Structure 1
Amino acid sequence: MRTQVVIIGGGPSGLLLSQLLHRKGIDTVVLERKTRDYVLGRIRAGILEVGFVDLMREAGVGARLDRESHIHDGTVIAYEDQEFRIDFKEMTGSHVVVYGQTEVTRDLYDAREAMDGKVVFNAEGVTIHEADGDAPYVTYEKDGSTHRIDCEFIAGCDGFHGVSRQTIPLDVRREYEKLYPFGWLGVLSETPPVHDELIYSGSERGFALCSMRNENLSRYYVQCSLSDTPEDWSDDAFWTELKRRIPSKYAEALVTGASIEKSIAPLRSFVTEPMRWGRLFLCGDAAHIVPPTGAKGLNTAASDVHYLYNGLVQHYHDGDSHGIDTYSEKALARIWKAERFSWTTTNLLHRFPDQSEFDLKMQLADVNFLRDNVNAQKVFAENYIGLPY
């Protein structure tokens, strides 16, 4: 088989890149290790920057998103029992959109099927060959046979544990990482959200987040130990702890119910450089990870897609390689700013095991400065709604 671009990874970034290129007449094949149902079963973030929404529209898959999503013009920051609101609309003239990653992925799969896009599921043992040469190709195993795809470029959208980053030699890539000494226990419940905007809450017991997917589907998180498992937390224990970490007026209004999904995610900040090696380009989690504080994970993948998509279109339509030659530099410049925002927001509201009394006073001072300073709120809002591409 031959194609112009092989895309490794059938998550939202790989599918979005494929759909965008398809509409520009650039042929792609997407390789996904799992099944469609497995990919759609993963519960992920649901806060989208306007830039991501615009890419979905450009890809021709924005209709349901526009119809069913919820616009958020601000967010609530709480610390113990005090709270204040940061008004995105007032500070930036813009907003964010609430629409689950599962729904984004479903829309993209439906679009690829409608256009007869080439998606190979259950592609095992994917291996990248000759990425640093002029004739790259990819092999994979399926149904007991080895298959080969010759191509011109490879986009690695296969996540942190995928093959793409590992293909770049160790003497070429450099990795930067910070591991946090806690995780997030997340619960999905068929209950109405406690508030019509997100609540980021710090307390002496640790961090909590009140989020949502729609009017009857809520997503809540509490900071927890890395040694915990979901089985350690009954639903009653989770709701009791959540109420202790959010302002009392929200705790009293909280509607609880049986969890329909419960999981623990460790927190990590990670970046690899460069994001290009020869004809291989890294996108999304294959190149970088952010803590979920600040909702940047899926949105940083979207910015990568923006730069790579436009670079490839420029290459194929205009014969100009500037876009792909500067892809890594442009993508990383924005990624490090998103990493900074996620890191600072995580430090603002979480409890760390080695914090001294002085550290806690400084953390409270940071919260109060954000509460009282309009310029600090504007900076927060600009980062939250998404820096320009």
Structure 2
Amino acid sequence: MSHPSRTQVGIVGAGPAGLLLARQLQVHGVDCVVLESRDRDYVEHRQRAGVLEQGTVDALRAAGAADRLEREGMPHDGVELRFARRGHRIDFPSLTGGRRVWVYAQTEVVKDLIALQAKEGPPLLFEAEVRAVEDADTERPVIRYTRAGREHTLACDWAVGCDGYHGVTRYAAPQGALSTYERGYAYSWFGILADAPPAYDELVYAHSERGFALASMRSAQMSRLYLQVPNGTDPEALPDEQIWDELDARFAADGARRLNRGPIIARAVLPMRSSVTEPMRHGRVLLAGDAAHIVPPTGAKGLNLAAADVVVLARAFAHLKDTGSADLLDAYSDTCLRRVWRAEHFSHFMTSTLHRAPEQSEFDTRLQLSQLERIATSPHAAAELAVNYTGLLLPGEER
């Protein structure tokens, strides 16, 4: 593939944010180039989130990237909260005016978007390691990258960082121009992928005296399960039988089915933290997705926040192309941060309500159970959870 030297929008990172943005810009007739440091195989197989909000699915449909999702994705109309040996289902459509979520792995979203990109463009360069994004305060920022041992530059009207928290795009702003607000957590998730049919039709979030657990899925034959574990846990140190026994203990409830056991084919420990960097723009460099914000996975917000960012961004670039006005780009950071902070709050709420912190007192546990009981008995509290879980509406959307 040739190395373009000029484009309207240079996108750093071929995760779901960068790929979806490129696809949306193509639909709007805005030129762009995507640069990704890893090879295609790595990008298509890194395991990440698996729950898509209604708005994310709508964005993939609008971008022409939802054909396989429609065939293979699993729509879910609710989740179960399990606590005090009881389960309570939250019905999304009845509480949100018809909104729902889909279980469809991020790896599959990425594969679908890459396939479209490879077939129809715009340019996507793998193994293109971005070294720096320069001249953010000018009308022509420059992305410097290395590919196949040679250095290249890409001049653009705008540069978008979709390269994650550790990416280089964040450093395009001078020191002190951006502020980052963070919170760590004293526990992690131990996640497994098991060759076993899911025991439950919908996701189950379990609060127990032994700690949090989550039952999810990747397909009708593949279970995705999580346990709360101490930070620093070695995923290889836990025998399979002990993992299944612990999962069964945390999901225990009167009349509940036990998990279907099977070979564990993948395992990993996932640290948890919350982080927001603001503003999400400096000069002509804009941040999207994990480059701007991180959430703990309990609220299923990470991929969906990234998708919401790029929907706002694509509309802003289309508006600039059609009208010559940068008003929506100027408002991009403020527009997104309102949603980001609400998602941060929801993810923290879900995390702190369902997990058992080290040295947690019985008073703290009683507060958690009281909150869960309120969600189970109050339509207003249940609706608040359902609206946040299925995704807040974007500006301009109507219920």
Which among 53, 58, 65 is matched to residue 57 of structure 2? 53
Q: How does 1:227-266 map to 2 (within 5 A)?
A: 227-248=232-253, 252-266=257-271
Q: Quote how far apart the aligned CAs of 1:117 are.
A: 2.5
Contact 2:35 2:130 in 1 (8 A): no
Aligned residues: 389
Give the deviation of 1:79 after TM superposition.
1.1
8 Å CA contact 1:194–1:250 kept in 2: the answer is no
State the Cα deviation string for residues 286-314 of structure 1 (Å, max 9, x = none).
Answer: 00000100100000001100111100111
Q: Which residue of 1 aligns with 2:282?
A: 277
SS at match of 1:312: helix
Task: Please state whether the residue corresponding to 2:298 is helix, strand or coil.
Answer: coil
Query: Structure 2 CA distance, aligned partners of 1:42 and 1:319?
Result: 39
Query: Is residue 2:4 matched to residue 1:4?
Result: no
- Bigger mean CA offset, 241-250 vs 201-210: 241-250
Tell me the equivalent position of 2:116.
Answer: 111
Question: Which structure 1 residue ranges, 4+ long, deviate > 3 Å from structure 2?
Answer: 248-252
* TM-score relative to the length of structure 2: 0.95
* 1:191-230 equivalences in 2 (<5 Å): 191-230=196-235
Q: What are the ranges of 5 or more consecutive residues in structure 2 without an aligned counterpart?
A: 395-399
Partners of 2:49 and 2:300 within 8 A in 1: yes
Corresponding position of 1:314: 319
* Alpha carbons of structure 1 residues 187 and 317: separation in structure 2 relative to 1, 3 Å: same
2:79 matched residue in structure 1: 75
Letter in 2 for 1:114: K
Structure 1 position 128 matched with structure 2 position 133: yes
Q: C-alpha distance in 2, partners of 1:382/1:324?
A: 27
Match of 1:22 among 17, 21, 26: 26
Specify every segment of 5 or more residues in structure 1 that has no aligned partner in the other structure, as ranges.
none
Q: Which residue of 2 aligns with 1:184?
A: 189
- 1:331 maps onto 2:340 in alignment: no
Counterpart-to-counterpart distance in 1, 2:278 and 2:32: 25
Work out the percentage of aligned pairs sharing the same amino acid. Answer: 45
Provide the C-alpha distance between the structure 1 equivalents of 2:130 and 2:65, rounded to a whole number of angstroms: 31
Counterpart residue type for residue 297 of structure 1: G
Q: Following the alignment from structure 2 to structure 1, what is the Cα–Cα distance between the partners of residues 242 and 135?
A: 53
Equivalent in 57, 64, 67 of residue 68 of structure 2 = 64
The answer on 1:85 being equivalent to 2:95 is no
Q: Matches of 2:366 and 2:254 in 1, distance apart? A: 25
CA RMSD of aligned residues (A): 1.2
Letter in 1 for 2:313: L
- Give the distance between the partners of 1:259 and 1:87, measured in 2 at CA: 31
For residues 280-319 of structure 1, what are the structure 2 equivalents within 5 Å?
Answer: 280-319=285-324
Shift of 1:80: 3.7
In structure 2, C-alpha distance between the alignment counterparts of 1:272 and 1:283, rounded to whole Å = 10
> What pairs up with 1:153-168 in 2 under 5 angstroms?
153-168=158-173
Does structure 2 conserve the Cα–Cα contact (< 8 Å) formed by 1:71 and 1:96? yes
Worse-matched range after superposition: 328-337 or 59-68: 59-68
Instruction: State the distance in 2 between where 1:164 and 1:127 align.
Output: 7
TM-score by length of 1: 0.98
Q: Residue 100 of structure 1 aligns with which residue? A: 105
How many angstroms apart in 2 are the aligned matches of 1:355 and 1:263?
A: 25
The 10-residue stretch of structure 1 (36-45 or 295-304) with the greater mean CA deviation from structure 2: 36-45
